[in-house]
């Protein structure tokens, strides 16, 4: 019997273990910031009518977005670079690959920030047009805007988003 389902469950558990403390700390920081410098003076976020929806998005989308993103990266690397063995795949990610892996860490970070900002801008524009709007409208559906409302993304959209990586790739 394959241990893959157990490994996936273990990875989800480890992701939850990493994501939940980070999201709690971020929630505290954003709560304090919005208390002192709120853009919209209204009731605190925990008194919103949509608090259950926002909380579910705040905690669960980063967890499952990370699992889906990692799975797609692994499958993509295996397909593109013709990797058929788990040891080869581990070596591929451990050793880096291509010319970008040779750059200093600060240059990789700068390149990542510029490229991801460019990509996110155009992806967000793409989600606003054509057939993607019905899918993306969840992100704009909150009637009471607050910091926690920004976490509303349909499942799968954070896969293409670096924002989800900031809290879930640690």
Tens digits of per-residue pLDDT, 32-68?
Answer: 888 888 777 777 777 778 888 888 888 777 777 777 7
* Nearest by Cα to 18 from 168, 161, 151: 168
Task: Find where tokens 């919209």 sit.
Answer: 40
Closest CA to 84 of 94, 97, 75: 75
Average pLDDT, the chain: 78
Q: CA-to-CA distance for 21 and 101, rounded, in angstroms? A: 30
Closest C-alpha among 14, 56, 76 to residue 155? 56
**170 Cβ partners below 8 Å, 6+ apart?**
18, 22
Mean pLDDT of 130-153: 80
Beta carbons within 10 angstroms of residue 138's beta carbon: 15
| Tens of pLDDT, residues 136-146 | 888 888 887 77
* Angle, in degrees to the nearest 10, between helices 86-95 and 51-80: 100
| Ranges 57-61, 65-69, 112-116, 122-126, most confident | 112-116
* All structural domains of the chain with their residue ranges: 4-168
Is residue 170's pLDDT more than 60? Answer: no
d(CA 19, CA 168): 6
pLDDT band at 100 (very low <50, low <70, confident <90, very high): confident
- Give every CB contact of residue 31 below 8 A, 6+ residues apart in sequence: 44, 45, 147
3-state SS record for 12-57: HHHHHHHHHHHHHHHHHHHHHHHHHCCCCCCCCHHHCCCHHHHHHH
What is the reported pLDDT for 114?
Answer: 94
Tell me, what DSSP letter sits at residue 152? -
Burial of 167 (0-12, 13-18, 19+ CB in 10 A): buried
Question: Taking the mean position of all CA atoms in its chain, how far away is CA 13?
Answer: 16
């Amino acid at each position: 019997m394959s241990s893959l389902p157990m490994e996936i469950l273990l990875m989800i558990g480890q992701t939850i273990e990493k994501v939940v403390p980070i999201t709690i700390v971020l929630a505290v920081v954003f709560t304090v910031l919005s208390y002192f410098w709120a853009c919209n003076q209204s009731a605190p976020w925990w008194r919103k009518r949509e608090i259950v929806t926002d909380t579910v998005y705040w905690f669960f989308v980063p967890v499952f977005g990370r699992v889906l993103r990692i799975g797609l990266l692994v499958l993509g690397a295996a397909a593109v670079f013709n990797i058929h063995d788990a040891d080869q795949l581990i070596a591929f990610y451990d050793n880096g690959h291509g010319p970008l892996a040779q750059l200093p860490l600060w240059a990789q970070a700068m390149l990542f920030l510029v490229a991801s900002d460019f990509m996110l801008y155009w992806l967000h524009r793409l989600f606003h047009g054509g057939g993607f709007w019905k899918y993306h409208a969840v992100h704009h559906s909150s009637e009471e805007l607050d910091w926690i409302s920004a976490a509303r993304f349909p499942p799968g959209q954070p896969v293409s988003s670096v924002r989800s990586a900031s809290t879930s790739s640690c």
